[in-house]
Structure 1
């Protein structure tokens, strides 16, 4: 190790900032050589993530998302640049994933008991939501980004839970970069993004969770540097009705909760917004269509599949190494 680099690394101190948001917690681990402005940095990070929540939460009556959902069909609604950016990305992934990712599933999410309206499935609401789900998101939703507005051409409810947390991570990364932080790991629930590596010259170690219901265990470890990672699965948020477990992620093509052999999908991408949305899309697409889609787009992805009561690992790109390895180094190309 060069002397200059070792001295710079030695001057850095590992610091962790954290807070509550979006029904979970955010955290930032970073190596910094100046800890004088940590209070101001923590406030800036908290403000960044809270702004995303205030704009995109389906539970906040005054959010951009809630205002848009309540607006009449064909009425233009003024929206923030941030939510328009997220919607633009969501519609792009909707198209590229052949509809597996759909930001217009809010009515169906509420009908099945996973939204702000009810906490259990309602058969009448499910039937009504299915009747409104015939058109693609691109046909139902029109964005006017230069004009800062959007409108719907048919009844719909926006739901950005499959992309907003990833975007919030990206906003926190932007805030860290503005404050000159060069070595950090940002986490919000199952979405993470690395700013550089650790000051000592090694990547950040990120645990890949085993998709077991009711307990937390590590499946493997990813070494992350200048990349984002997100995982979607069927094992953390669900409803139990009798002996049936209903996953919270909606399959837009079936107008019902996801029901396939995929236990979890982990995706690497340059931004956490992309990783978050694609993890959701591939979970919905399933083991066959999802793998074909990821391979066609040369994505870095790991599927954990439930087959014969066992987990089978299938990886592509940086994850496409023998399944008996305990860690995977992921660095920018």
Structure 2
């Protein structure tokens, strides 16, 4: 039996699809999964005052900030991917730029202040961080991916046999039967297509990103890169990454989009292999 519910959360529409012959269990599982996503939405909002991101943006050098365990975990993951990608994924730089442009009101307290650095973060306790300045973070897609992962965990804990969680294109699924997947066309978002080599999703996560300055957590923009003898090399317009979890899939899309079109090479290729991730470019 198929059960489906959707709610506006995380700045998008979060959809749950469950295969379960127990309707009561399915309804309870979906309700609690939505609660988990809503909590993450409140904690990591770059728009609402009172969120953990708002408090980090208002910090001063030397301040200790106690965070919700969810926020602490995502901050650690964001720092990990910032280091791995050498800054191709950088929600701190993105947050500062978006705050200056007025697009992230909860991060405005950081304006005009000395900004923290990634190297200046010091964990004094599992959920308490000492900062060397204001930390205006726009966690964007990585928080969305984390919410998808958490929602899926809730559904598993309730014993739901199979499920798909979709938060605006960040997806993760499990169960005995693959879930059919179609990808939106970057040049025509209202249209979809089937991706060769991607017949369905099961036991994995999928995230897609498009290139451009509108990306909240991808700040090195530009449509070309220097090529041989100064000739430009086109970058992909969009990419989709499959990985075991949605946080990794989402962060990797930002890094992949920094590379010229073609197969990822060097460190990126090694990290993709280490995370058992696969890439499709458009």
Give SS of 1:265's match: strand
- Structure 2: runs of 5 or more not aligned: 225-234
Unaligned stretches of 5+ residues in structure 1: 1-12, 119-124, 239-245, 306-333
Contact 1:265–1:301 (8 Å) recurs in 2? no
Counterpart for residue 77 of structure 1: 65
Q: Provide closer, same or farther for how the CA distance between residues 39 and 185 of structure 1 changes in structure 2, counting only shifts above 3 A.
A: closer
Per the normalisation by structure 2, the TM-score is 0.82
Residue 286 of structure 1: CA displacement?
Answer: 4.8
Counterpart CA distance in 2 for 1:303 and 1:247 is 21
Q: Structure 1, residues 267-316: CA drift from partner, whole Å, max 9, x if none? A: 111111111111122224554795444322225333425xxxxxxxxxxx
Stretch deviating more after TM superposition (47-56 or 211-220):
211-220
Q: Does 1:161 align with 2:140?
A: yes
Secondary structure at 2:29 match in 1: helix
**Which one has a larger percent strand, Structure 1 or Structure 2?**
1
Q: Spell out, residue by residue over 1:35-68, the C-alpha distance to the aligned partner (whole angstroms, 9 max, x if none).
A: 0244433321221100001111111111111111
Verify: 1:142 aligned to 2:119, yes or no. Answer: no
Q: Does 1:109 align with 2:136?
A: no
**Range that drifts further, 41-50 or 74-83:** 41-50
Q: Distance in 1 between matches of 2:21 and 2:82?
A: 43
Does residue 22 of structure 2 align to residue 18 of structure 1?
no
Greater relative contact order (CA < 8 Å, ≥ 6 in sequence): 2
Taking the TM superposition and a 5 Å limit, the aligned residue runs for 1:143-222 are 143-146=123-126, 148-198=127-177, 203-213=178-188, 215-218=190-193, 220=195, 221-222=198-199
1:117-138 Cα distance to aligned partner (Å, 9 max, x none):
79xxxxxx8xx79x95xx8x53
Structure 1 position 162, deviation (Å): 2.8
What is the SS of the residue equivalent to 1:217?
strand
Alpha-carbon RMSD across the aligned residues, in angstroms, is 2.7
1:247 has 2:224 as partner: no
Match runs of 1:63-74 below 5 Å: 63-74=51-62
Contact 1:193/1:228 (CA < 8 Å) preserved in 2?
yes
Aligned to 1:16, the other structure's residue is in SS state strand
Corresponding position of 1:223? 200
Cross-structure match for 2:279: 302
TM-score by length of 1: 0.71
Return the alpha-carbon distance in structure 2 between the equivalents of residues 56 and 100 of structure 1: 21
Report how far residue 207 of structure 1 moved: 1.0
Deviations 1:59-80 (A, max 9, x none): 1111111111112122010101
Asked whether the 8 Å contact 2:56–2:134 carries over to 1, the reply is no
Contact 2:236 2:261 in 1 (8 A): yes
CA contact (8 A) 1:86 1:163 kept: yes
Find the partner of 1:263 among 237, 240, 261. Answer: 237
The verdict on how the C-alpha distance between 1:113 and 1:214 changes in structure 2, with shifts beyond 3 A counting, is farther
Q: Indicate how the Cα distance of structure 1 residues 250 and 33 shifts in structure 2: closer, same or farther if over 3 A, else same.
A: closer
Alpha-carbon distance in 1 for matches of 2:123, 2:260 = 29
Closer, same or farther: CA 93–188 of 1 in aligned 2, 3 Å: same
TM-superposed deviation, 1:151: 2.8
Determine the structure 2 residue equivalent to 1:273: 247
Which one has the largest radius of gyration?
A: 1
Q: Deviations over 1:8-54 (max 9, x none)?
A: xxxxx111122111221111111101102444333212211000011
